[in-house]
Amino acid sequence: MASTVRTPIQTKAQARFQTRWIISSKTDLAWFTLGGVAASYIFWALWRYTSIPLLLLVAIWGIVFDETHGFATISRTYLDAEERERRGRWLWGSLAFFFTIGPILIFLHLGDWLELATELWGYYHIFKQHYGFMMIYKAKNSDLNPQDNRLDKLFFAAAFYFPFLTYPLHNKDAAEMIPFPIPHRAAMIFENALLFVLILIGCVYLARQWQKWREGLSLNWPKQILFAAAIPVNYLLFRSAMPLIGVYAAVTIYHNIQYHRLVWFYNHNKYGQNESLAKRFGLATLVNSRWLAYVACALFYALLFDFVPDFVLKPHIGPGDANLRNQIIFSFFAAPGLLHYWIDGHIWKVRKDPELKEYLQLKRA
């Protein structure tokens, strides 16, 4: 049998297009990148081109996507006997803290600061998830050159945050959340300075990709597709005339879809593969080993934190309500979101958790 000898040109071509995915190309594209971000565009299009009330769209997002993704975190922490034994004090301490900090800040008349901090933390939470996917794709595709690592992180942070940081300069509702006025001239200087930095970083990033292409190096296409999905949608939403609550929902729904699929991948590998071994995880096995049970429990959790406030808050739900009782109750029902941000920022650290790396099948990377 004649052996196949690869020429340098063939080797370069293979390197350019060689790709490795987290689950598979079909699944990753459908949930983590193109399919996930399509939900954000669809949300915006339904608001822009149909007569569907925005509050109805937001309600559907809140119940079906957002609250359920909060349950996804609970499904692999508080319901997991092994996790409770491993992180018990931290988990219960976190729960107590975030269910009490809201009412305390309300009593101290710092409710506006709580709302602003929640919005800032929420966007950072979304950024960190995309950042995590970027790092996984970099590890999977051996894209770990120190120079590229620094440039990828810098480019993604600058491109992702620019429309968000300048949003209050273009939207009245967002501007009112800032506890101090921004003079027009200072706002223009701030935005132009950020834009200059973004263009500079973008040019350096593109130049580096061209250099890698000419050298026959892989461009890490899964990472590039993630960038193409996660970055442009923010420029559309933060510069649209959509009300703030709709922008928040549309930005977050992509994050929700990503998260659900990643958690289900983790849950399936941990709880659904070996029934005898999975018994030690307790209730988490019952909830997470079958998708129907997982969906049913997630929806019940979502309905609990979305419908119950309707019966206890008067005259309406919202942190802007002047009634102290309503503000305290609202802060209580908003606590799971803050708890989710906090816990989620600690349980997905692949480098420090060998078991997590195993369940996400990253040992093959």
Q: How many C-alpha atoms does 215 have within 13 Å on its Cβ side? A: 9
Joined together, the tokens standing for residue 342 give 């906090």
Map out the domains of the chain as residue ranges. 22-29+60-141+260-359
Omega cis (within 30) before 183: no
Q: What is the pLDDT along the chain (365 residues), one digit of tens a residue?
A: 444 545 555 455 555 667 999 999 999 999 999 999 999 999 999 999 999 999 999 989 988 999 899 999 999 999 999 999 999 999 999 999 998 988 888 888 787 788 888 889 999 999 999 999 999 999 999 999 999 999 999 999 999 999 999 999 999 989 988 878 889 999 999 999 999 999 999 999 999 999 999 999 999 999 999 999 999 999 999 999 999 999 999 999 999 999 999 999 999 888 887 666 667 898 899 888 888 899 999 999 888 877 666 555 555 544 455 566 666 666 666 788 889 999 999 999 888 888 898 889 886 55
**Those residues with Cβ within 8 angstroms of residue 304's Cβ, 6 or more apart along the chain or in another chain:** none
Instruction: Pick the closest to residue 344 from 246, 270, 258, 286 (CA basis).
Output: 258
Instruction: Pick the closest to residue 151 from 83, 82, 223 (CA basis).
Output: 223
pLDDT of residue 120: 92
b/e 256-267 (16+ beta carbons within 10 angstroms → b): bbbbbbbbbbbb
Joined together, the tokens standing for residue 279 give 């018994």
Q: For 360, list phi and psi in degrees, rounded to 5.
A: -90, 5
Measured distance CA(363)–CA(365) in Å, rounded: 5
pLDDT of residue 286: 87
Instruction: Pick the closest to residue 139 from 20, 18, 261, 15 (CA basis).
Output: 20
Joined together, the tokens standing for residue 130 give 């995309």
Instruction: Pick the closest to residue 127 from 3, 253, 231, 272 (CA basis).
Output: 231
| Residue-by-residue DSSP string for 9-71 | HHHHHHHHH----SS-HHHIIIIISHHHHHHHHHHHHHHHHS---HHHHHHHIIIIIIHHHHH
The single-letter code of the amino acid at 64 is V
- Find out whether 134 and 156 touch, Cβ atoms under 8 Å: yes
Q: What is the CA radius of gyration of the chain?
A: 22
Helix (H, G, I), strand (E, B) or coil at 316: coil
- Find out whether 330 and 319 touch, Cβ atoms under 8 Å: yes
pLDDT of residue 324: 64
As to burial, measured by CB atoms within 10 angstroms (0-12 exposed, 13-18 middle, 19+ buried), residue 69 is buried
pLDDT of residue 361: 86
What 8-state DSSP symbol labels residue 217? -
Joined together, the tokens standing for residue 340 give 């989710």
Joined together, the tokens standing for residue 99 give 């269910």
